[in-house]
Amino acid sequence: MALLRHTKADMPEREALTINPAKTCQPIGAMYAALGIRGCLPHSHGSQGCCSYHRSTLTRHYKEPVMASTSSFTEGSAVFGGQSNLLQAIETIFTTYDPEIIAVHTTCLSETIGDDLVQIIGKAREEGKIPKGKRVIHANTPSYVGSHVTGFSNMVRGMVKCLSEPSDIRLRRINLIPGWVEPADMRELKRILDIMKIDATVFPDTSGILDTPQTGKFEMFPEGGVSVEQLVKTGTNCHTLALGPTASDLGRKELELKCGIPGETIELPIGLAATDAFIETLRKIGMVEIPKTIEEERGRLVDVMSDMHQYFYQKRVALWGDPDQLVSLTGFLCDLDMKPVYIVTDTPDPGFEERIAKVMNGRVSGAKVRQGQCADMFLLHKWIKEEPVDLIIGNTYGKYIARDENVPFVRYGFPILDRIGHSYFPSVGYTGGLRLLEKILDAILDNKDRTSLEESFELVM
């Protein structure tokens, strides 16, 4: 990362090499999604090194112990396959840790060998290694394609494929797939649903699992999350609302295919317009009135947006991270009259540029937007060298660019390894929008305080 300092503005275009990717690996997303099921132990079918890396990245981001097991591949498993390791692991996990459910995901190695999870889990069931009433679900997450968001999306689909049961009954209850958002965001989405009096099964749901209070007692399986029983019954709910096409569309489509549940996918409710769309969609699906509390929260966000408009106006911003967050954030920045000029995500998403253009709605001319291979932080830094920006927004790895270019930096996305707050304070909904505004304003005004000339330094800048 320190090598970013040597990034030049005149680097040639690359076709193959990714440098400092704006993504991480698939199983991390699968592990995060699996943690959103109550009583679940994520299991990494691969070598110990992969599992340690995934656990440590999630632990460093959430500042919580992340439990997961591994098939502990050796050279022998790499040659002969990992079936015996997984069979032994399933037996040991249920005997020793007694989870309700194990969520198995693959790694690069087990995918390259070609281990067949369906067959191995079937064999474990035949051999009585899965106790009565317990479940084992799975997702294929080869990390040489996609990103952590793809892994999350694959595991969400795995939940539906392995657990949701079709039914003729239709309850007056919806499924909400929240996308890859923080535990605080999932909590906030549930609060909004409560206020609007809409019954919903939110899955996955990492609130109460990765933001647990200190009680002095270690709980291997905290009380939060969605239960297995609720997941089984997703097939009886009347509608599915998926937030964020990249992370959640697969799960919604699978529910439609398997259980015939109608639904729709909208952008993540980050910022004013995207939250408006979310609330309006909920209003229609739930056939309810929009409560005064929600209207007041919106009003407070609009008030701060207009009060502070002078500080946002025409500020050039560079962003990197995950497609769903970037699309909604870009729309929000445009609503603030800011100029998101550089946007990159290494997560492959063919519709990304079009989604960005839609939320920009012609408000930013000459913006550079890239997704997939080579849409990395090296490219972003090169663009910043060519023409500077006033603010950068992205994960922790941006601190090297912020320091080298002496530019204000708002930490947002995954992973954030060197700060706290992201898992405790939501950024979705109108309340989340206020927190984003505060962070952006603080970064801009702190920089103004720090860099203004002595003669123009005032109490209120």
Nearer to ligand SF4, 28 or 318 (CB): 28
Least distance CB 212 / ligand SF4 (angstroms) = 26
Closest listed residue to residue 172, CA positions, set 238, 259, 244: 238
- Shortest distance in whole angstroms from residue 45 CB to ligand SF4: 10
Name residue 241's amino acid: L
- Nearest residue (CB) to ligand SF4, 68 versus 186: 68
Tokens found for residue 50: 């992969």
108: left (phi over 0), alpha (psi -120 to 50) or beta: alpha
Q: Are 140 and 162 in contact (CB under 8 A)?
A: no
Closest approach, Cβ 362 to ligand SF4, in A, equals: 39
Residues 326-365 that bind ligand SF4 (CB under 6 A): none
Q: Which residue number, 50 or 137, has a Cβ lying nearer to ligand SF4?
A: 50
DSSP state of 270: B
Q: Which is nearer to ligand SF4, 74 or 451 (CB)?
A: 74
Instruction: Tell me how far apart the alpha carbons of residues 289 and 197 are, in angstroms, rounded to a whole number.
Output: 10
* CB 88 to ligand SF4: min, Å: 20
Q: Which is nearer to ligand SF4, 50 or 367 (CB)?
A: 50
Residue closer to ligand SF4 by CB (options 26, 206) is 26
Please choose, from the candidates 53, 23, 269, the residue with its C-alpha nearest in 3D space to the C-alpha of residue 150.
23
CB of 25 to ligand SF4, least distance (A): 3
The span from the first CA to the last CA of the chain, in angstroms, equals 34
Site string for ligand SF4, 358-397 (x = CB under 6 A): ----------------------------------------
- Kindly determine how many residues on this chain lie close enough to bind ligand SF4 according to the rule CB under 6 A: 8
Shortest separation between residue 149's beta carbon and ligand SF4, angstroms: 14
Distance, in Å, from the CA atom of 184 to the CA atom of 410, rounded to the nearest integer, reads: 18
| Smallest distance from ligand SF4 to CB 27, Å | 5
CB of 151 to ligand SF4, least distance (A): 9
- Which among 183, 111, 174 has a CA at the least distance from the CA of 140? 111
106 or 275: CB nearest ligand SF4: 106
Of residues 1 through 60, those in contact with ligand SF4 by CB under 6 A are 25, 27, 46, 50, 53
Q: Of 27 and 204, which CB lies nearer to ligand SF4 in the complex structure?
A: 27
DSSP string, 311-358: HHTT-EEEEES-HHHHHHHHHHHHHTT-EEEEEEE-S--TTHHHHHHH
- Name residues contacting ligand SF4, limited to 97-116 (CB under 6 A): 107-108
CA atoms within 13 A on the CB side of 221: 16
Using rule CB under 6 A, residue 143 touches ligand SF4 = yes
> Within 219-308, where are the H helices?
228-232, 245-259, 272-286, 292-307
Q: Can you give the binding site for ligand SF4, defined by CB under 6 A?
A: 25, 27, 46, 50, 53, 107-108, 143
